Amino acid sequence: MNEKPVIDQEKCQGCGLCVDICTPGALGLVDNVVELQAPDKCGWCTLCELVCPYGAISCPFEIVIENECS
């Protein structure tokens, strides 16, 4: 659970779409900028990345081969 969605706060325009779509409530707005407030609630559904019109959130995947991954 160390991995977190990558948030570029400079790109965030505070529209709140990601907060609205995040049903587990992992994201919140502070001073009109998105923040990951409850990382343990994030299920990596990537919907926040999908709805962000400004490309401020990304949820990258590591690709591994079973049995070769540590």
Partner 1 sequence: MAVQLEFLKDLPYFAGLDEAALGSIRRYVFEKKAERGETLAFEGEPSDVLFFVSSGVVKAFKTSADGKEQIFRIVRPGESFNDVPVLSGGVNLVSAEAMGPVVLNGIKKKDLEIIVRERPPVALNVIQVLSRRVQELVTLVEDFSFRHVTSRVAKMLLEYADRKAGEGPRLTQQEMAAMIGTAREMVGRSLKNLETAGTIRMERNRIVIADQQALKEMAGVT
DSSP label at residue 22: -
Q: If DSSP codes are grouped into helix, strand and coil, which group holds residue 33? A: strand
Q: If DSSP codes are grouped into helix, strand and coil, which group holds residue 5? A: coil
Residue 31 makes contact with partner 1 by CB under 8 A: no
Q: How far is the CB of 14 from partner 1 (least distance, A)?
A: 19
Residue 60 makes contact with partner 1 by CB under 8 A: yes
Amino acid identity of residue 69, one-letter, is C
> Which positions from 32 through 51 interact with partner 1, judged by CB under 8 A?
43-44, 46, 49-50
CA 49/CA 65 separation, integer angstroms: 25
Question: What residues line the site for partner 1 (CB under 8 A)?
Answer: 1, 3, 6, 8, 43-44, 46, 49-50, 58-66, 68-70
